[in-house]
């Protein structure tokens, strides 16, 4: 469709999962994509499959890392038109057993990282653009054992709305939106002890996803299915959409 011809895009979390799918789709639509991730080898692998793409190291918890990433984009290609933040981690423990260290670890990546990314994207987008964050249905409908994750995604919803309102009232041509999936088949699940146990019990990741779906989680999406929604919000087709939280959850939160 070439909806992103001539545009510059920075995708945070591009090494795997939704972020990698977004980078590939933006590249296919004509964007020059910068693939950023703490997993630099993974970011390089994603970039290697895209014409003209560049990999960047990025630790979303550190402001200097965000500054360096956007400086690299500005130096190589000029102001970005699209910024997608798909970085996220989770934790799976009852609230009473969650340590302060674990709580802060999740919030520092999911919420502090989103704040820093938004801040530096706004500074870099001199000519306007589109910012899209990846949220979660857990920001509206929390699950037991994931309080830190749910809180971070609920906070992200308000960050997106506040940023969109600031841009609108300042007359800045930057749209800020959120896409909130339910279950998506991404590597994040592999870090959760309960999912690891479910894989051992059922015999495979696919069987584990099926078991979660059958227990009320609903169907699990493929990363590219969520990437399509994100890329819509980053395109001119969504020119009048800002401050929105777009669910991509098969009605999970209804």
Q: For the chain, give the percent of residues with pLDDT over 90.
A: 77
Helical pair 40-48 and 17-28, crossing angle rounded to 10 deg: 30
pTM for the full predicted model: 0.94
Domain contains 212: no
* 198 vs 155, residue with greater confidence: 155
**Structural contact between residues 36 and 16, judged by C-beta atoms closer than 8 angstroms:** no
Burial class of residue 193 in the structure, from the number of CB atoms within 10 Å of its CB (0-12 exposed, 13-18 middle, 19+ buried): exposed
- Residue 248 in tokens: 């991509």
Q: Which residues have a catalytic role annotated?
A: 149
Percent over 70 (pLDDT), the chain:
99
Residues 93 and 145: beta-carbon distance below 8 Å: yes
For the cut 80, the answer to whether the pLDDT of residue 4 exceeds it is: yes
161 close to 113: Cβ distance less than 8 angstroms: no
| 64 assigned to some structural domain | yes
Angle subtended at Cα 231 by Cα 230 and Cα 233, rounded to the nearest 5 degrees: 65
Quick check: is 190 in a domain?
no
User: Is the pLDDT assigned to residue 92 strictly greater than 90?
Assistant: no
Contact between 225 and 248 (Cβ < 8 Å): yes
Residues 6+ apart with CB under 8 A from 100: none
* DSSP secondary structure of 42-84: HHHHHHHTSTT-EEEE--TT-HHHHHHHHHHHHHHH-S-SEEE
Q: What is residue 2's predicted lDDT score, i.e. its pLDDT?
A: 80
How many domains does the chain divide into? 1
Does residue 1 surpass a pLDDT of 70?
A: no
By residue range, what is the domain housing residue 97? Answer: 8-184+221-248
Q: Is residue 105 part of a domain?
A: yes
Domain contains 53: yes
pLDDT above 80: residue 248: yes
In a domain, 137, yes or no: yes
CATH number at residue 81: 3.40.50.720
In a domain, 31, yes or no: yes
48 belongs to a structural domain: yes
């Amino acid at each position: 469709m070439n909806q992103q011809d001539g545009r510059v895009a920075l995708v945070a979390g591009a090494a795997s999962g939704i972020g990698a799918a977004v980078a590939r789709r933006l590249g296919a639509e004509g964007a020059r994509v910068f693939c950023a991730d703490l997993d630099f080898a993974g970011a390089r692998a994603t970039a290697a499959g895209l014409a003209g793409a560049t990999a960047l190291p990025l630790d979303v918890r550190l402001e200097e890392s965000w500054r360096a990433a956007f400086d690299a984009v500005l130096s190589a290609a000029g102001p970005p038109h699209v910024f997608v933040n798909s970085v996220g981690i989770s934790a799976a423990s009852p609230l009473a057993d969650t340590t302060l260290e674990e709580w802060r670890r999740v919030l520092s990546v999911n919420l502090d990282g989103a704040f820093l990314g938004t801040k530096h994207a706004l500074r870099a987008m001199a000519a306007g653009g589109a910012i899209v964050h990846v949220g979660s249905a857990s920001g509206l409908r929390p699950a037991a054992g994931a309080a830190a994750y749910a809180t971070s995604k609920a906070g992200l919803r308000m960050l997106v709305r506040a940023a969109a309102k600031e841009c609108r009232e300042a007359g800045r041509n930057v749209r800020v939106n959120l896409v909130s999936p339910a279950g998506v088949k991404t590597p994040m699940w592999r870090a959760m002890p309960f999912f690891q146990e479910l894989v051992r019990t059922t015999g495979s990741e696919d069987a584990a996803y099926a078991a979660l779906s059958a227990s009320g989680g609903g169907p699990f999406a493929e990363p590219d299915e969520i990437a399509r929604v994100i890329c819509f919000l980053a395109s001119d087709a969504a020119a009048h959409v800002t401050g929105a939280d777009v669910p991509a959850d098969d009605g999970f939160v209804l």
